[in-house]
Each structure stands twice: as structure tokens, then as C-alpha cells.
Chain A
Amino acid sequence: MTDKARFERLTLPHMDAAYNLASHLLQTRADAEDAVQDAFVRAYRAFHQFEGADIRPWLLTIVRNVCFRRLQERRRADNVVSLDEVSSRSTGAAFEADMASADRSPEQTAIASSDQALLAHAMAELPPVFREVIVLREIEDLSYREIAGVIGTPVGTVMSRLARARTELKAILNRMTNQDDRNAM
């Protein structure tokens, strides 16, 4: 088997996890797709350096680094783009509409929408460093040690950051549900 075939066999099953992390961090479909492609090509070029038993954390580390670099570039670019663009991007509203329309029938979208939209909004409000630990822990089920490897911090930091991220997410969700209740009345 060629290196490339072996690489694809190992990594493509984790494309979903890679795209999920990238989407949460970058908040737009196009950027997430670009970042995943960038990360896969980088991972392929660095494949000889991979020595672990589990390729998923290794791959997610690369995805994560690519995404944070893009966020950094975006911040730099934001200094020169118009305010409208920045605000629509930062609310996450554009992103949510973007994501909801992706490959779903209108009925499915309607059923899932309330909780899903709520969560998408809440996640978008979290700072990226909180978002990533929530995604890696709650969705991807990574251990603290694996998360520490992906985000490049000690395990103790993972524990405290995750605790803060959860508290923050809870507060945002509570605030949003209260708002919804008031709007309903």
C-alpha cells in the first residue's frame, strides 16, 4: 500500500471530526472546508512524523492550529474591513443560517431548529479557546490528556478551562432561554 493510500485509510474516517472542529472555530462553511483541506495536506506532508497509535488527536492538532492561524489572520484583516462585515460575522447569525441550510430538508430544519439554533448561537458567543475544549470533550469524547495534546497545554489547564467553558456556556444558554420566554409572552 502506498503512503498516500495508508494516509487516506487512516485519516478520512476522521474527516467529520476535523470538519466539526473547524466549523465551530471558524464559524463559516467555506472557511471550514478550506481549513480542513489545508490541514489534510499538511498532515499528509508531515505523515512520516506521526508515530502514535491513534491518529485522530494528531490530525485534530493540525486542524486546530490551521484554524487558529486563520482566526489570527482574520483578526488582522478585520482591522481594515467594514464594520458591517465584522458584526454579522461575530453574531454567528449568518453562520447559523449557512449551516442550517446545508443538506437538510426544510422539515428537518424546522424540527431541529429551536434547540439547535439556540446551541449554535450560544457556541458562537463563546471565545474560541472555550469552544474548542467543549467540542473536543463533549462531541469528540477526547480524554483530558488528548485534549491537552491538541491544544498544547498541561492537563490541569484543560480541566480548569473546560470548567470555565461549561460555566460560560450554561450562563449564555440560560440568558437566551430567558429571553425567548420573555419574547413568547
Chain B
Amino acid sequence: MQCDRAHELLGAYRDGELAPEERRAVAGHIGTCRTCSTAVADDERIGRLVKKFGRIAPPPALEPRLRAALDRAEETSLPGKPVETPHLGMDAPKARALAKRVAALAAACLVAVMATWWVMDTTRHAEQIEHDILSAHIRSLLQDSPTQVASSDQHVVRPWFAGRADFAPAVKDLTAEGFALLGGRLDYVADRRVAVVVYKRRLHLINVFMWPSSVAATESLAPATSRNGYNLLIWSRNGVSYCAISDLNAAEMRELQHLL
């Protein structure tokens, strides 16, 4: 038997709590190992010390005191009365503590479930927006024209949205920066009407979707995502959510984002 294994079993060996074959193995080891035989002798010595001096005797007054207490207990426990203490040593404070712990656990579970639901719901919502935007983008490419109002003049496009969208979308002529304004249209994303401003860079068409958002943050940025080879960039600013989508590379999309 290995020394460290035997060492673990020394206590149980001395207490006579080992199975016969284990006991023989440990006994054999102790016969050959000084460390283990010293440890057993030490334990033996301390065991004797505890046995000899460890017991604390009760005062003589304790027994009459217990008898008196039991007399009182007998008087107060009426025959036929259901006996309390459903569990040994479990009384009201302990039960209360347990109830408190159970309540805390239940509350934690509820919070976890709600958080999961919220995250899932938010995720689902974001998923739907991305999905709808991708569909709308592809649809705009399939049609003859991605715009309802075709103009490179922001002073034409912007007023066109008045009365059509329930907010004034940002429309900028960015020809000098390399993003030519093609025009605007309305579309339908995540169960609501949204404004779309269309830009072009080289041969790449960029749809910028805009809708008023409940996001209070003045500027929040999600990392660029990619769906079916199209790059999506979603952000919100001053109570308006933006989503730019294009087959343009993400770096140039970021550039547009900063210009808007």
C-alpha cells in the first residue's frame, strides 16, 4: 500500500472502521513505515488525553432541573394534541430561515427567467430587424429603381419625407466624400414604416434605414454584422435608429456612418 493512501486511512484504522482486507494492508504498511507508525502513536496519545481529560461532567443540579423541565413539558402537552417538531431540532426560527432562503431562491430563479426572456426577446427583435432589412435591401436591388424620389439634392429628398414619415430623417449630400445621394423611399421593417435614404459608392448601393427609436442613448454602436455577404451596421443617435446595409466593405460603411 502507498504511504499517502495509508496515511489517509490511519484514523479509520485506529477506530476499527476499515474492512478486513484494508485493515490488513494498513497494518502491513505501518509495520514498515516509520512516518505512519509515529502518526498512529501520536493519534493514540492524543486520543488518550482527550478520553482522560476531555469529558466535562454536568453539575449535580442538572438532573433535578431536567426532571422539573420534563414535568412542566408533560403538563403542557395535552393528550391528543398533535405534536410539534416535524423534524428533529427544527423549530420556528429555523423554519423561518428556511422559508426565507427558499423565497430568496425563488426570487433569484424568477429574475433569471425574466432576464433570459428579456435577452431572448431583445435578441429575437434584433434578429427580426436584421432579417427584414436584408429582405428590403435585396428587394430594392431587384426592382428597377431603389428610390421613390430620385434626386441628388438633399433639399428635394428631405421634404419628400415630410407627411410620409413620422419624423424628419437625416439626408445629406455626400458626393464630395464619395457617397452619391440617389434618393429616398419608404419601406416596412419590423412591423413599422421606415424611411430609407439611398447612397451609392462606386458601384455599391447603400440603403440607410431610419426610424425613431426608444433608445435614449445619444450614440450607441453595435459591431458590424454580416448576413448573406451584406454588411449591416446598426446604430442610434438622438432618438433615431439607423441601419446601413450594403455589399460595400465594413470600413467604408463606418465612414458613411460617421458622415451621417
Contact = CB atoms under 8 A, between A and B. Distances in A.
Interface of A: 4, 7-8, 12, 15-16, 19-20, 23-24, 29, 32-33, 36-37, 39-42, 44-46, 48-49, 61-62, 64-66, 69, 99, 102-103, 112, 115-116, 119-120, 123, 134-135, 137-139, 143-144, 159, 162-163, 166, 169-170, 173
A134 B96 CA distance: 31
A166 B84 CA distance: 38
Contacts of B69: 37, 40-41
A138 to B, nearest CB: 4
Prevailing SS type, chain A contact patch: helix
Given A12-B66, A19-B62, A119-B53, 8 more contacts: A12-B63, A20-B56, A41-B69, A41-B70, A61-B88, A62-B89, A64-B89, A116-B53
A16 B85 CA distance: 24
Contacts of A159: 11-12, 17
B150 to A, nearest CB: 76
Contacts of A49: 88
Interface residues of B, number: 41
Nearest to B57: A16
Contacts of A99: 56
B88 A65 contact: yes
Given A19-B62, A33-B62, A102-B59, A166 B43 contact: yes
B73 interface: yes
Prevailing SS type, chain B contact patch: helix
A136 B16 CA distance: 15
A112 B43 contact: no
B60 A103 contact: yes
Contacts, number: 127
A8 B63 CA distance: 10
Given A15-B66, A36-B58, A134-B50, A170 B17 contact: no
B50 A45 contact: no
Contacts of A46: 83, 85, 88
Nearest to B67: A8
Interface string B15-31: 10100000000000000
A142 to B, nearest CB: 10
Interface string B85-101: 10011100110000000
Contacts of A48: 83
A138 B51 contact: yes
B177 interface: no
A33 B59 contact: yes
B191 interface: no
Contact of B70 (A33, A40, A162): A40
A160 B123 CA distance: 49
A42 B85 contact: yes
Contacts of B252: none
B65 A16 contact: no
B91 to A, nearest CB: 8
Contact of A139 (B42, B54, B59): B54
9 contacts: A19-B56, A33-B65, A49-B88, A120-B53, A139-B50, A139-B51, A166-B43, A173-B46, A173-B49
Contacts of A170: 42-43, 46
B46 to A, nearest CB: 6
Contacts of A134: 50, 54
Contact of B54 (A32, A41, A103, A123): A123
B83 A169 contact: no
B121 interface: no
A113 B52 CA distance: 12
A54 B11 CA distance: 25
B55 interface: yes
Contacts of B56: 19-20, 23-24, 32, 99
B59 A103 contact: yes
B11 A162 contact: yes
A75 B8 CA distance: 33
